[in-house]
Amino acid sequence: MNMDLFQQDNPQQVDVLALGPGSSFLCGFLLPDAGAILAEVSQVTAQSPLRHLSTPGGQKMSVAMSNCGTLGWVSDHAGYRYQAEDPLTGKPWPVMPALLLERAQQAAHLAGYQHFQPNVCLINRYGIGARMGLHQDRDEQNLTAPIVSFSLGIPATFIWGGLQRTAKSRRFLLKHGDAVVWGGPDRLRFHGVAPVKADEHALTGPVRINITFRQTGP
Ligand code: MD6
Ligand code: FE
């Protein structure tokens, strides 16, 4: 029986589409509070500004990043890692706003993950033309926890691959308000974002914001 059919479990009656055995697409999940979420993101980035990190190979990333939570994801010549201080400010990352945490846990719950306790919230800002190459998310110590991903602003084409880099990939559009939850057998799928096409959104202008929630520990 699909419990999501009951109003009390899914009061928004959001469509939950299976993308794979451990992953769900929640179409329009964030639409009721997109403005409030973007305001929280602005509060975070006022304290820990968005910046273009360098890859270990020395390339500047086209996506600008920041974090909130007890740890943040960073990249530099020394590699990819999570750390408790923002290297730009030398201070701890801003606290994860309650609304972001609550909505991430609701999304995980709707997708069948009941005990998601994210401690990291990675904020990605895409301008026109920004992209993210095919990668796996494997810097988290806890690979049994899912990742919850929120998309706001202008749309982007998500590239959804397989467990091997060379596996055939599918593409789908991530639009303003969409959430994706993935874990279980899909947790280590390769994925990326195609160069963002010129567009404007009333709430963000010519920008896409992606927020991913991760649980790095037990
Ligand atoms: C993005 N997302 O949507 C990039 N990674 O801009 C990711 O790289 C990602 O959405 C792991 C899990 C979910 C994601
Ligand atoms: Fe990723």
Question: What CATH number is given to the structural domain containing 28?
Answer: 2.60.120.590
- Across residues 132-160, what is the average pLDDT? 96
What range does the domain containing 105 cover? 16-149+169-214
Q: Please choose, from the candidates 122, 100, 130, 146, the residue with its C-alpha nearest in 3D space to the C-alpha of residue 192.
A: 130
Whether 203 has a pLDDT exceeding 70, the answer reads yes
- Across residues 89-112, what is the average pLDDT? 97
- Across residues 69-81, what is the average pLDDT? 97
The verdict on residue 40 lying in a domain is: yes
22: tokens are: 């451990």
pLDDT-based confidence at 11, cuts 50/70/90?
confident
The verdict on residue 201 lying in a domain is: yes
Amino acid at 41: V
Structural domain count, the chain: 1
Expressed in angstroms and rounded, the spacing between residue 212 Cα and the centre of ligand 1 is 6
- Across residues 152-179, what is the average pLDDT? 97
Amino acid at 136: Q
- Across residues 106-112, what is the average pLDDT? 96
The verdict on residue 159 lying in a domain is: no
Contact 68 CB / ligand 1 (< 6 Å): no
Residues 6 or more apart whose Cβ sits within 8 Å of residue 109: 116
Beta bridge partners of 148: 181, 213
Contact 124 CB / ligand 1 (< 6 Å): yes
The verdict on residue 82 lying in a domain is: yes
Report the residue among 75, 82, 212 best suited for mutation to probe ligand 1: largest number of ligand atoms under 8 A from its CB: 212
The verdict on residue 7 lying in a domain is: no
**Count of residues in the chain:** 218
Contact 24 CB / ligand 1 (< 6 Å): no
pLDDT value for 1:
42
Q: What pTM was estimated for this model as a whole?
A: 0.95
pLDDT, mean over the chain: 94
The verdict on residue 158 lying in a domain is: no
- Across residues 186-212, what is the average pLDDT? 98
pLDDT value for 187:
96
pLDDT value for 95:
98
Count the neighbouring beta carbons within 10 Å of the beta carbon of residue 118. 22
The verdict on residue 136 lying in a domain is: yes
The verdict on residue 163 lying in a domain is: no
Expressed in angstroms and rounded, the spacing between residue 147 Cα and the centre of ligand 1 is 8
pLDDT-based confidence at 7, cuts 50/70/90?
low
- Across residues 117-123, what is the average pLDDT? 98
Cα-Cα-Cα-Cα dihedral sign, residues 204, 206, 16, 192: negative
Q: What is the pLDDT of residues 30-72, one digit of tens each?
A: 999 999 999 999 999 999 999 999 999 999 999 999 999 999 9
